[in-house]
Amino acid sequence: MHLKTALLLIFIASPAGAGVTDVSLDNGLRVIVKEDHRAPVAVSQLWYKAGSMDEHNGATGVAHVLEHMMFKGTEKVPEGQFSKRIAAAGGRENAFTNRDATVYFQQLQKDRLPIAFELEADRMANLQLKDESFAKEIQVVMEERRLRTEDDPQAVVYEQLMSVAYQAHPYRRPIIGWMDDLQNMVPQDARDWYGRWYAPGNATLVVAGDVNPQQVIALAKKEFGPLAGKPLSLRKPQEEPPQRGEKRITVKAPAKQPYLLMGYHAPRLSDVEKDTTPWALQVLVSVLSGNGSARLTKHLVKEQRIAADVAAGYDGINRGPGMFYLEGVPSEGKSVSELEKAIRLEIRRIQKDGVSEEELNRVKAQAIAGDVYQRDSVFYQAMQLGELATLGLPLDLLEKRVDMLKAVTADQVKAAAKLLTDDKLSVAVLDPQPIVGAPRKPAMEIDHAR
Amino acid sequence: MRAKQFLSSLFACLMTLPAWASVDIQHWTTPQGARVYFVENHDIPMLDVAVDFPAGSRLERAEKNGVAALTHAMLDQGAGGLSDIAIAKRFADVGATLGGIFEQDRAGVSLRTLSSARERDIALALMLTVLHKPEFPESVMRRERARVLAALRDEESRPGEIAQKAFYQALYGNQGYGLPPSGTAKTLGRIKRNDLLAWYRARYRAGDAVISIIGDMSRADAEQLALRIAVGLPQGSSAETATGSAAMPPVEKRITHPSAQSHVLMGQVAIARSDADYFPLYVGNHVLGGGGFDSRILEEVRQKRGYAYSAYSYFIPMAQPGPFLIGLQTKNAQANDALKVARETVARFVAEGPTEAELTQAKNNLVGGFPLRIDSNQKILGYLRAIGFYRLPLTYLDDWGKNVEGVTLEQIRDAFKRRVNPENMSVVIVGGNAG
């Protein structure tokens, strides 16, 4: 289902341990180094604070299109050579775009970091953006949209729900962009985007692994230091106005299974000293679906058998507004509305009776363990630091996060659940349409015993 | 010429594989016959344990297709007097996670737990209960079967999933690797609790078990743990009743689906994990379609023509000969053009092989990237499980770089010519224009 990876990212988050170095170069580039000497490798991630939320109507998807174009060459490093050179050094590399940021990364043996820095610094300033490269790559992006959105009914539901749940905030627009915008995008859209956001002062370089921080910083100064700083575009807050009542949509798509997705506007983490609600909402997610005995799973999947699958999720550590999600697939013979009713009943029960100490302790035990397990991945640790830096949150939150979760009380979870009111809710339902042409599968045949 | 080239590549290998690029794997066999693979590592206070069995869908009878997956899914859904919910609670209470893999060859259970005594002991005891005393409660089985059916219905809306199943069926027919791993609505309906019990008793045996352990644990404790795991399993070994793969004639299958893209899969039966051609084919395929942006297929299909987001080729070596597979997805109108490009790319590669420069580039990437393959406990655990299950040499990781470095142009050309026949491939196309 849709939310699972996002959930994991938010929830298993926590301490990076000691050994984080954080400096800024004169041109504004922030450099963060996390030492981890378990294996002789390093990851380098360059985070640009430019995601789909910074786009304007008519050019949705341009952040992601530019991400693709960043591999299309500079004067010094012609098209195709970026990937070739990283590969020749034994590296792995890719990039991703989300609502808040665009991130480029390389994983390499530790002593091969210079090649990554050299190439990243070059394309931060010298991208060519040729018309003919653009013409081909925009086709690739449209294929990506067909693959990941158009032909995935649950992805279509998510896209439609966001476009309804938010009226003003740019989170209403899909990261990959509307197909019509992609069809009408021109190279100049990508050039404008590159000119506006690709600058040292809008970027954070995160390196994690078996490295010496002073050497990494010296290397960053050598490669990125000469790039000129430049003023950044003004960002408008684009706050979402208060919702004035429940919203509800139906999405028709060829499918065999109905699907329900619900989203409540919810607070996001902004003041790390004072905010407790975002942590309480994370605990609530875990109480609802964080393990095989969590409430939604236990009651709706295992006991009542209303749902084939059900999950909760919370996006609360973002640049933009927060949202609390619930999603599920009804069991055969059960309707989406029965499932929705059952989910809402579970929420009401927590609003009324709260959660038990036992549930709370279970969630905390999972958080403490998850905090240890995530140390197994250097890449993940770098992800956490890049995300915090891009959001302007203190880096020591990595270490404090587990303590924040441990400090959550049952009363705070109950109070957080009370924020999930009907007036803040948007509901999307997938109404499956026949898959024309596909052979009809026979219903399950049960061999009756005697 | 040949000798010089050999020496220089050996030198390159010594240069790029310093001493640290190795993993100290300890191996022993318990008196019950379970093979144990252990890496002691105290960097992080946690422990990973995996237990795998030759209990995948390949070994099923076609009329009970799905019994292997359902048995695997049911292991932790009631065991040793504990309910499904009680088991989930107890794992969560100590922050442990129980995972599983289910494949065509193997079925396995994995545990990640903190290594602190209280958490570790509770989690391990519970894992033993799940492995040794699964109860397969009738009512829970009906629920889990219904959930599998729901997942199967979901797959019917996904062209990629439809294509995958049709592809394996085209290559293997209705047996072995041709059976859909989760079963079908029809065959699942026939499966009873007794089938699960029988499958468990026959296939989850100590003599076949592969136990992989990595993390914060001493050798003595690992020996104890392996013994406890093996003692409580059904004893003995299962007779391998693998259905040999009768050669299927190549087919072209077009399945109409209301999707924006057509999913194209093309391929044929190729090699088993133990095949002597493994490294030449692996390194060669890195050039052809396994090396991402460094591969010919992605270059031709995506970079040059903008036909697809993803385009690739892989060998999937398994216990029995697994497929060689080329895949891409593209908007319906250009499916035939993209297929043509993929076909020509494969045919040319088989005819000519890679260039010297391409081979060097592939080796640099593979050998230079080796440390990234073993940079976490999670990844090393994956290798332990594969080495144990497929009976690869204990020195597999130590030798890996040498084996890649040693591959020659001639070996690749020769192996591809013998093992890949572009004229003899099955093709599956699922999409809106397919009819």
Q: Which of A108, A151, A365 sits opposite B93 (nearest CB)?
A: A365
Domain map of chain B by residue range?
Answer: 26-231, 247-431
pLDDT value at residue A63: 98
Nearest Cα neighbor of A314 from A290, A343, A278 is A278
pLDDT value at residue A444: 45
pLDDT value at residue A12: 33
A·B CB contacts under 8 A: 232
pLDDT value at residue B22: 79
Q: How far apart are CA A234 and CA B139, in angstroms?
A: 61
Average of per-residue pLDDT values in chain B: 93
Evaluate if residue B148 carries a pLDDT over 90. yes
Interface probe with B: pick from A67, A136, A143, most Cβ of B within 10 Å: A143
Is A446 domain-assigned?
A: no
Total domains in chain A come to 2
Is A6 domain-assigned?
A: no
Cβ atoms of A32 and A206 closer than 8 Å: yes
Mean pLDDT value across residues B6-33: 63
- Across the interface, do A150 and B372 touch by the CB < 8 Å criterion? no
pLDDT value at residue A232: 87
pLDDT value at residue A16: 38
Q: Tell whether A156 and A262 lie within a shared domain.
A: no
pLDDT confidence of B433, banded at 50, 70, 90? low
Pick B26-231's CATH classification: 1.10.8.60, 3.30.830.10, 3.30.1340.10, 3.30.360.10.
3.30.830.10
pLDDT digits (tens, 9 = 90+) for A348-393: 999 999 999 999 999 999 999 999 999 999 999 999 999 999 999 9
Percent of chain A's residues with pLDDT above 70: 93
Mean pLDDT value across residues A382-411: 96
Interface probe with B: pick from A85, A136, A293, most Cβ of B within 10 Å: A293
Q: How far apart are CA B227 and CA B215, in angstroms?
A: 18
Mean pLDDT value across residues A125-153: 97
- Across the interface, do A153 and B157 touch by the CB < 8 Å criterion? yes
pLDDT digits (tens, 9 = 90+) for A205-246: 999 999 999 999 999 999 999 999 999 888 998 999 999 999
Tokens for A122, please give them: 């070059």
pLDDT digits (tens, 9 = 90+) for B82-95: 999 999 999 999 99
Is A337 domain-assigned?
A: yes
Query: What range defines the domain where residue A344 resides?
Result: 247-433
pLDDT value at residue B17: 40
Cβ atoms of A74 and A204 closer than 8 Å: no
- Across the interface, do A435 and B257 touch by the CB < 8 Å criterion? yes
Q: Tell whether A220 and A251 lie within a shared domain.
A: no
- Across the interface, do B364 and A87 touch by the CB < 8 Å criterion? yes
Which positions ≥6 away from A78 have C-beta within 8 Å? none
pLDDT value at residue B290: 96
Q: Is B118 an 8 Å CB contact of chain A?
A: no
Catalytic residue among A35, A55, A67, A137: A67
Mean pLDDT value across residues A264-292: 97
Q: Tell whether A75 and A208 lie within a shared domain.
A: yes
Q: A226 CA to chain B: closest CA distance, Å?
A: 30
Reported in sequence order, the residue ranges of A192-306 that DSSP labels E, i.e. its strands, are 203-209, 247-254, 259-266
The sheet carrying B26-29 orders its strands as: B26-29, B35-40, B210-215, B46-53, B107-114, B97-102
Contacts with B257 from chain A: Cβ below 8 Å: 254, 435, 437-438
Average of per-residue pLDDT values in chain A: 93
Q: How far apart are CA B411 and CA B430, in angstroms?
A: 35
Interface probe with B: pick from A444, A447, A450, most Cβ of B within 10 Å: A444
Q: Tell whether A163 and A308 lie within a shared domain.
A: no
Give me the helices (H) in B64-136, please: 67-74, 84-93, 117-132
Which positions ≥6 away from A359 have C-beta within 8 Å? A287, A295
pLDDT digits (tens, 9 = 90+) for A313-341: 999 999 999 999 999 999 999 999 999 99
Q: Is B227 an 8 Å CB contact of chain A?
A: no
Q: How far apart are CA A209 and CA A207, in angstroms?
A: 7
pLDDT value at residue B432: 84
pLDDT confidence of A19, banded at 50, 70, 90? confident
Active site residue A67: yes
Evaluate if residue A68 carries a pLDDT over 90. yes
Reported in sequence order, the residue ranges of A137-246 that DSSP labels E, i.e. its strands, are 203-209
Q: Tell whether A299 and A370 lie within a shared domain.
A: yes
Is A100 domain-assigned?
A: yes
Parallel/antiparallel/unpaired status of strands B26-29 and A322-330: unpaired
Evaluate if residue A450 carries a pLDDT over 80. no
B318 sits in which H/E element: none
Q: How far apart are CA B293 and CA A422, in angstroms?
A: 48
Q: Tell whether A162 and A45 lie within a shared domain.
A: yes
ipTM: 0.92
Contacts with B116 from chain A: Cβ below 8 Å: none
Evaluate if residue A187 carries a pLDDT over 60. yes
Evaluate if residue A6 carries a pLDDT over 90. no
Tokens for A151, please give them: 């032909």
Q: How far apart are CA B104 and CA B240, in angstroms?
A: 14
Evaluate if residue A5 carries a pLDDT over 90. no
- CATH superfamily of the B247-431 domain: Metalloenzyme, LuxS/M16 peptidase-like (3.30.830.10)
Evaluate if residue A447 carries a pLDDT over 60. no
Evaluate if residue B12 carries a pLDDT over 80. no
Q: Tell whether A283 and A317 lie within a shared domain.
A: yes
Find the CATH number of the domain harbouring A395.
Answer: 3.30.830.10
Of A130-139, A430-439, B124-133, B267-276, the range with the lowest mean pLDDT is A430-439
pLDDT digits (tens, 9 = 90+) for B352-362: 999 999 999 99
pLDDT value at residue B33: 98
Q: Tell whether A163 and A64 lie within a shared domain.
A: yes
Q: B144 CA to chain A: closest CA distance, Å?
A: 9
Is A442 domain-assigned?
A: no
pTM of structure = 0.93
pLDDT value at residue B239: 74
Percent of chain B's residues with pLDDT above 70: 93
Percent of chain A's residues with pLDDT above 90: 90
pLDDT value at residue A18: 57
